[in-house]
Structure 1
Amino acid sequence: MAVVDKPFSQACENNKQPILSVLAPRFATRRHVLEIGTGTGQHAVYFAAAMPHLTWQTSDLPENHEGIQACLADYFGSNLKRPLALDAAQSPWPIEHTDAVFTSNTFHIMPWEAVLSLLDGCARILPPGGLLVVYGPFNEQGEFTSDSNAEFDQWLKTQAPHRGIRNRQTVAEEAGQRGLELTETLELPANNRCLVFVRQ
């Protein structure tokens, strides 16, 4: 059987500690977290090790599972779960409830319709008081927050026309219509933000 090389993202290495500083106090009383768009698996391994009280459930499109499994193979704890096949744009999801949801660098990659579907899904599976934490770049009042984000947005659109940095206020409005209230907007390095939503 062929050995699969572990995928690696330098951005994940750079942002995992700043993101953990946001997640650790907010997830301190949670028991089960669903990560949507696990990607390389680096965040999952790091966060599961740092928060052993949590069951960290990975998920992604099936074509990314092999790389995630290769990354998870180095983790010897019992609180990190193999990836679910989850497409945010499809329903139903392969999970019915969770205390919290985390997703990183997904909103600007997926089509806007899939972002809305992700919010729909979170509203279904989160209980009252459940948390959704979204990490990534966001515009403010329709404006880029940095020249680098404007350049990144241009590059995204050359990769696929449906991609692009989303407007924070628009995301908050759509989430609010689904019972997910934006309670915190936290600035992180490299012109990124963590948005914290609470299920009402």
Structure 2
Amino acid sequence: MDTPEGPKSLDKSTFLEGGEAIFVQTDVADSKQVSRLVQTAVDAFGGLHILFNNAGIGHSEVRSTDLSEEEWDRVINVNLKGVFLGIKYAVPVMKQCGGGAIVNTSSLLGIKGKKYESAYNASKAGVILLTKNAALEYGKFNIRVNAIAPGVIDTNIITPWKQDERKWPIISKANALGRIGTPEEVANAVLFLASDEASFITGATLSVDGGGLTF
């Protein structure tokens, strides 16, 4: 929930599902804010058993040597450091709670790469290795750590792609299923990895890409 519409979306989704939630605006690249976020969740709900590190940003589509250091740092700080900070502050609480599940959002591009996306690709590849590392370190505390690697998903981020009449027909079908994914399909993968149904899965990266890795 990193948009101005975040609180409204949260209220609507929790109302429909009959759940309870709070909205805490947070810069995931800021250590103090992430620490506050975790503590707010603990204070509100009495503990922490599931962490979903999902914040992410992209950057200008340029060659690596043309990307500014400022853009590089911002992407790495949000996409990779943000996951690190989430783990850093959530794990101690999960240990006190007897365990938990962490799901980190990587990307198809963190596995196969793509031209002109150097910082994004590097950050998402880093998430995969950070996920494996955390799984090794905290498994003995009954904390599972997994990642998802979405392909092209129908969100606001891809709106500019849809307007490219030349590229969009290719991008939208660049996987085995020949279509883009939905946010609900990604959410189902996250729910699975966070649930007891995945109790013997840790250190894994689940591709949610319609077979994008086959292309």
Name the structure with the higher helix share: 2
Same fold (TM over 0.5): no
Could you tell me the TM-score, scaled by structure 1's length? Answer: 0.44
Could you tell me the TM-score, scaled by structure 2's length? Answer: 0.42
Name the structure with the higher strand share: 1
